[in-house]
Chain A
Amino acid sequence: GAGVSQSPSNKVTEKGKDVELRCDPISGHTALYWYRQSLGQGLEFLIYFQGNSAPDKSGLPSDRFSAERTGGSVSTLTIQRTQQEDSAVYLCASSRRTDSGANVLTFGAGSRLTVL
């Protein structure tokens, strides 16, 4: 597609429920990132996929968070047993590669998650 597409754009859920957030990166982009931005805060790195390599999960805040990337394209971020502190905007970004200086991260519009 022309840009990074994220869905849903807004999600309201009850505490304890599971949620799935989807990211469709730009076609041909091999690197995909998930970030979290809480109200008034900066970007918190969550997870990074690069091609067929094992993902870098070092930013996931707890084992309730997981992510998959199927076929090197679409990614799903899953949050199990949501808590109120999970409320944030979840941003997805993609780039061609990250070992070349010319590459740029392109962001999606984000998925705003509200946990009641």
Chain B
Amino acid sequence: AQSVTQLDSHVSVSEGTPVLLRCNYSSSYSPSLFWYVQHPNKGLQLLLKYTSAATLVKGINGFEAEFKKSETSFHLTKPSAHMSDAAEYFCVVNFNKFYFGSGTKLNVKP
């Protein structure tokens, strides 16, 4: 069965420190993978997508994600967190239908 797992429901970092939001998927083949962000009281916005081209994908606002087939992972990273990054982040997989992870709430401390 296809599934997507976000390992952390909450992540808290200090401003200026790195961000790591983890996502693992299970599939018998390489799917398309996405990260979406939802700021408080806002709609969902595409952050980045992986579609079998380069394994390191760069998105908006300095975020990037690396597809690792051997680990079935697609973790989201950013070298230096900003206060405006505080939001909820969703890992999404497309196996002929879009499946959402349960979300990770990122808190950024001043």
By a beta-carbon cutoff of 8 Å, the part of chain A in contact with chain B is 33, 35, 42-43, 45, 48, 56, 91, 93, 95, 98-99, 101-110
One of B31, B90, B94 near A43 (C-beta < 8 A): B90
One of B46, B51, B101 near A42 (C-beta < 8 A): B101
Contacts A107-B43, A107-B44, A108-B43 given; does A98 touch B51 at CB 8 Å: no
Are B51 and A101 within 8 A (Cβ)?
A: yes
Are B100 and A43 within 8 A (Cβ)?
A: yes
One of A35, A56, A98, A104 near B46 (C-beta < 8 A): A104
Residues of A close to B36: CB separation below 8 A: 105
Residues of A close to B46: CB separation below 8 A: 104-106
Residues of B close to A45: CB separation below 8 A: 99-100
Q: How extensive is the interface on chain B, given as a class?
A: 20 to 34
Most chain A CB within 10 A, of B34, B46, B92, B98, is at B98
Give min CB distance, B17 to chain A, whole Å: 25
Are B43 and A109 within 8 A (Cβ)?
A: yes
How many contacts between A and B, using CB within 8 angstroms? 48
Give min CB distance, A23 to chain B, whole Å: 13
CA distance A98 to B94 in the complex (A): 7
Residues of B close to A98: CB separation below 8 A: 94, 96-98
Residues of A close to B94: CB separation below 8 A: 98, 101, 103
Residues of A close to B90: CB separation below 8 A: 42-43
Are A104 and B100 within 8 A (Cβ)?
A: no
Residues 29-47 of chain B: 1 if any A CB is under 8 Å from the residue's CB, otherwise 0?
0011010100000011110
CA distance A105 to B36 in the complex (A): 10
Are A104 and B44 within 8 A (Cβ)?
A: no
Contacts A43-B90, A101-B51, A104-B34 given; does A110 touch B43 at CB 8 Å: yes
Contacts A42-B90, A98-B94, A109-B43 given; does A104 touch B49 at CB 8 Å: yes
Contacts A104-B34, A110-B43 given; does A42 touch B97 at CB 8 Å: no
One of A33, A91, A101, A110 near B52 (C-beta < 8 A): A101
Residues of B close to A105: CB separation below 8 A: 34, 36, 46, 92, 98
